[in-house]
Structures are given as C-alpha cells and as structure tokens.
A and B are shown apart, each in its own frame.
Chain A
Amino acid sequence: MNTALELTPRLLARCARLCDHVSVSGLLPHLVVLSWLLPQHTGSQQLNERLAHLARTVRERCEHLYVRLPSSPSAQDVEDASSRNATLELASMILSVQEDDAAACHDEAMPCVTGEIARDRVSALLFDLRSAPLGSIVPWIFFGELLGTSIAYRSTRSDALAPYRALLLERFTALAEQSPQIFWQSLVRGGDAALRERLRAFVDAASGAKALAATGA
C-alpha cells in the first residue's frame, strides 16, 4: 500500500530544528519526528481520515512529552488506552481496506514523502499490538512501518528517508527485547549519533528538494 505526505517548508523547518536538538534528549525527538512524518495520503479516503486522527493524537502526546521532558517517563506518558485502540483500528483497517486511488500528494509545488506500507509486516505486528502492555514500544514499531522512504519532487526522487527509517526500526526492534522501563529511559537519556546523522541526511536532502521547489526549477 503506497503512502504520501506533503513536506511543507514549515514541517521541514521543524524537523531541522529538532535535528539540532536531538543529541541532548535521547530517543524522544525521534518519536516526535516520526509523529510529524506519518503519512497523510493512501489509496483510501477512509484510511486517510483514520490516519489523520491517529497522527494528531500521537503528535500531541509526543510533543507534550518532549517539552516537559520528565526525568523518568512512565507508561502513561507514552500511551493511553484510547491511542492504543486507535492504533489497533488503523492496523486492522490497513489489512482490510480496498484502495480506490493511488496515494498522491495534492500540492505539486511541495516535495512529497512517499513510501509503502508492507501489509505482511502490519499483519505480523497486529498480535503484538493486541497483547503488549500500554506504554510498550510495539506501537512505535508499527508507526515506523508507516514511515515513508523517499522524497519525490517533480521528476527527481531520493531515497533519503529510507536509511533513517531502517535504523529507527532497528533501534525499536532492539528495544522490544528489553523491558518497557528501558524503552522509557531511552527516551530521555543518551544520544544516538548514527540515528541523528541519518535524520540530518534526510533533512539536508529534503532541503535541497525544497530549494528546488522554491526556485520552481
């Protein structure tokens, strides 16, 4: 299932700003970036509405958590029952929905983040989403699966988001082997230079596409 997200200059500016702050506060800024880059468009209007609702919920929670930056985050800082239900509904819908159109960005003047959701991966995660306790990293693995891989602008295309997505999923999967407490602590402790570098590479590549968009080249 293909996905798309309009990369507005404001969204890109926010990602760039957050990237500059990544080293100081653990994994949490990456969750914020992930919540910002969740796709807007798929081939189904019904799914788009569900995605928009979930993205708003996740974004709000992550942004508040990042601003507060508690020294010891807990399960309720990361997730509540309603957001888990919304995640489960979205995952189920991805597996069942009929696509009416191809996913596409609506504004051709903007660079577009495109990607593909692997239904078999979502299907494999569904059981864990149902059984994992609240505050677990499993929903984040699911959100990581939704993240796009490429930036498309007119005839140009770059896979600059793919390495970031791959490493993010690798980190999440490694954390899934640990206790939830380790995940919560990793949100606010330590930095991840490799992850930051890949986020920076995406921001730089997207800025190049943005510059092209600004000049109309």
Chain B
Amino acid sequence: MISILGFAAIALLVLSVYLVARRRTPAPVEAIPLPPPRSSWTANIGVSDATPQPQERIALVERLGVVGSAWCVDVLERALEDEHDARVRDAAWRALLALRTEPP
C-alpha cells in the first residue's frame, strides 16, 4: 500500500514538473518578414523614393559614372560603403574604376 502511494506521489510530481515546464516553453512565433534593408546613399542625390529597386539603383550608378564629376565620385564611393545589394555595389565599383582610369 505504501509503495503504491509512493509511486502515485512520484507520478504526480513528474506530471506537475512536466506541466510547469510546458507552460514556460514559449509558443512558436509566426515568422514576420523584415523590411528590405535601406541603401542610404540614394538620399544624398535627392532621389525622392527612399527605397528604389536594385535595377533603378544600378541605373543611378550608371548615370553617375557617365557624368563622372567630382560629386559623382563621392556618391559612388558612398554607394560602395552603404549599398547592401551586391549587384549595385558591383556596378558602383566598375563605374569608379572607369572614372579612375579616365584621362586628366
């Protein structure tokens, strides 16, 4: 009789520990998509849309490379630092390289 009571007490203890532990385990949170990272360099040239698409940013980079004035070089260098999209960074790198090999 004592052993049965002891077994029941242990079972109750295990059950209560399990229930407490289960209550403390956080429920899985549904994944929330994060906004795409911003590339702040476009704000420096007064682009009204704060987050233009990568293709638009590549076109911006190309036009900066075409104009090639000192302020364009500054913006391209900023793009190289701030830009999160590798394709845009690559375009900025190529534009800067072309401008640095430009005749004086």
Seen from chain A, the residues whose Cβ lies within 8 Å of a Cβ on chain B are 8-10, 13-14, 17-18, 20-21, 32, 59-60, 63-64, 66-70
Contacts and interface: CB of A to CB of B under 8 A. Distances in A.
Contacts of B102: 10, 13
Contacts of B103: 8-10, 13
B104 A18 contact: no
A193 to B, nearest CB: 19
Contacts of B91: none
A66 B67 contact: yes
B68 A17 contact: yes
Interface of B: 45-48, 59-60, 63-69, 71-72, 75, 102-104
B48 A14 contact: no
The list of the 9 closest CB pairs from A to B, nearest first, reads A9-B103, A67-B63, A63-B67, A17-B66, A21-B66, A10-B103, A67-B64, A14-B68, A13-B102
Given A68-B47, A69-B63, A63 B69 contact: yes
Contacts of A69: 59, 63
A27 to B, nearest CB: 15
Centre residue among A32, A63, A64 by max chain B CB count within 10 A = A63
Contacts of B67: 14, 18, 32, 63, 66-67
A64 B63 contact: no
A194 to B, nearest CB: 21
